[in-house]
Amino acid sequence: MIRLNRLSYNFGPNWAIKDITLDVEKGEFVFLTGHSGAGKTTLMRLLYGALPVSRGQAKVAGFELHNLKKKRIPDLRREVGVVFQDFKILANRTVYENIALALIVRRMPKATIDKRVRAIIRALGLEKKTYTRCERLSGGEQQRVAIARSMVVHPKLILADEPTGNLDFDLSLHLMDIFRQFNTHGTTIVMATHSREVLQTVPDARIIHLEDGSIAEPPEHLFTEDVQ
């Protein structure tokens, strides 16, 4: 699903990603860990085409990103669901409209759109907010809308950058259960997180730890502290 070969990326003189070689197989659940500034978000942005691959090679969901033309980035994103740190939802649209838009652009039948949207709204506990404009939602509710939008298309791969960062503990656990269900049905998931509690919700997941833009051995405390 993901093949990286000596992938690097710099912002001027600063190297955010350094010589990363990595394979993620179809159906894997992978946690991407590391302190703030370690390179997690830069790597995510490279994987969904928000940053160009100019050093090294990257293949994601069948797309060779190092050779990918800009006009084909929408094709990549039809296969890859993305949960952004800053949500990127349309504030003046309702919850339903934001989620449905991901299916409308794929020209799905209206009945299919309605069925899928209502199912994911129900799964994420947003029924009472279905027709509320997103500018009136709390940060946690907006995060759930962003997650619903990424999941409703049933993507091959979900890239989630700190998806539980604005949620309370109980809701985070519920959300992780939904991610696990998608993974059980074959969706590959790569999730950036700094939360030990989130890591422990998927004990058989692979952990890829970044330090200063490079893959490093995960620190022992990620495995030894218990969920409170």
| pLDDT for residue 190 is more than 50 | yes
Pairing of strands 29-33, 206-211: parallel
For 207, other C-beta atoms within 10 Å of its C-beta total: 15
Q: How far apart are CA 63 and CA 92, in angstroms?
A: 33
pTM here is: 0.86
Q: How far apart are CA 123 and CA 147, in angstroms?
A: 11
pLDDT 10s digits, 75-123:
998 899 998 777 788 999 999 999 999 899 888 999 999 999 999 999 8
| pLDDT for residue 13 is more than 50 | yes
pLDDT (0 to 100) of residue 174: 85
Contact partners, residue 6, CB within 8 Å, separation at least 6:
19, 20, 21, 55, 56, 57
In this structure, of 23-27, 63-67, 143-147, the range with the lowest mean pLDDT score is 143-147
* Domain, as residue range, for 133: 2-224
| pLDDT for residue 227 is more than 90 | no
For the segment 22-46, the average pLDDT, to the nearest whole number, is: 95
pLDDT (0 to 100) of residue 224: 61
pLDDT (0 to 100) of residue 218: 86
Instruction: Give the residue from 146, 159, 161, 175 showing the smallest Cα distance to 38.
Output: 161
| Domains held by the chain: number | 1
In this structure, what CATH number is given to the domain that contains residue 207? 3.40.50.300
For the segment 44-49, the average pLDDT, to the nearest whole number, is: 94
pLDDT (0 to 100) of residue 225: 52
* Strand runs labelled E in 38-121: 55-60, 63-64, 80-83
In this structure, of 84-93, 179-188, 205-214, 216-225, the range with the lowest mean pLDDT score is 216-225
pLDDT (0 to 100) of residue 223: 63
For the segment 13-32, the average pLDDT, to the nearest whole number, is: 96
E strand or H helix that includes residue 101 = helix 95-104
| pLDDT for residue 228 is more than 50 | no
For the segment 210-223, the average pLDDT, to the nearest whole number, is: 86
pLDDT (0 to 100) of residue 165: 78
